[in-house]
Amino acid sequence: MAGVGIPQTTVALAVRPASVTAPRQLEGQQVALAVLRSAIRGVVPGYAARLLYGYCGTTKEYCSDPDCQWPFGTCDSNQTPAGPTTLNDPRPLIGQVSYDNDIYDCSKTGVVALTYDDGPYQYTAQLLDILKSYGFKATFFMTGNNLNKGAIDVTAPYPAIIRRMITEGHQVASHTWSHYSLSNIPSAVRKDQMVKNERAIANIIGKYPTYMRPPYSQCSRESGCWADMKALGYHRVYFDLDTQDYLNPTTIQRSKDIVTQILGTGGATDYLAIQHDLVEQSVTNLTSYFFDLIKAKGWKGVTAGECLNDPPANWYRTPGGR
């Protein structure tokens, strides 16, 4: 099933370290999210500006992740969660879901896999209330420390929210520690982005995910990202229904039109959808509208794991264990 496409743009940074040997590949989505995140933080969207024009700086919009120029200094997320690293944990490739191929589609029919990126955030608790009222389940692809929200394992109210996700039958998954493009960083940094998030999540729920979604949908074979994610035992999960809520934070009717059109199209038997729980209107306005459309089709909202017919026991690993 075809998702809603995002135009691609190629931008070369005017200033970049010698270790970066090729122009940085950026999707239109990346700049759009940068502007959105800057607006959320209440700062000038400097990240988008320097991507386009090569500006550098030392102020908040330049040193705050996910927008920080990490090769040039210290970013605000440059912290390591307490506890032993998970880097050398055994990682057998459990279950039948592919560790080799990008995943865009469900195996189960009559479902929409509900997935939310970039949280937890200030609207996530309300989203959990809405999910509970519909009896739907979702997968939360979480970042560990970006958008000035603090590390998720030590900053209230996030530990309680994440524990609630587990208690209410949702799936916790990884969207990396600081939301960097995984295709554009060295392997060591890529792995660090994953294991920091693992440690923080395990500090909260005692286990860490086997499912991940690459920020900006960027995890290429050529960069070594595929090999690194498989070595770490991750399924790479994308989507075939893009609500484009991140492009329409104040004009969410456009996202409503997208889901109305797609769910009204005959022939499809399932969808794997993406929203962002840091977008207020996506949570408070789009979500219930979307869920009503799903119910009207006689379908239900499920986790990514359920849509792939993967038992919940396969969704996580325990530190030092399998």
Residues designated catalytic: 117, 276
Report which of 235, 293, 219 is spatially closest to residue 262, judged by C-alpha positions: 293
Place of tokens 């960069």: 223
The torsion region of residue 264 among left (phi > 0), alpha (psi -120 to 50) and beta comes to alpha
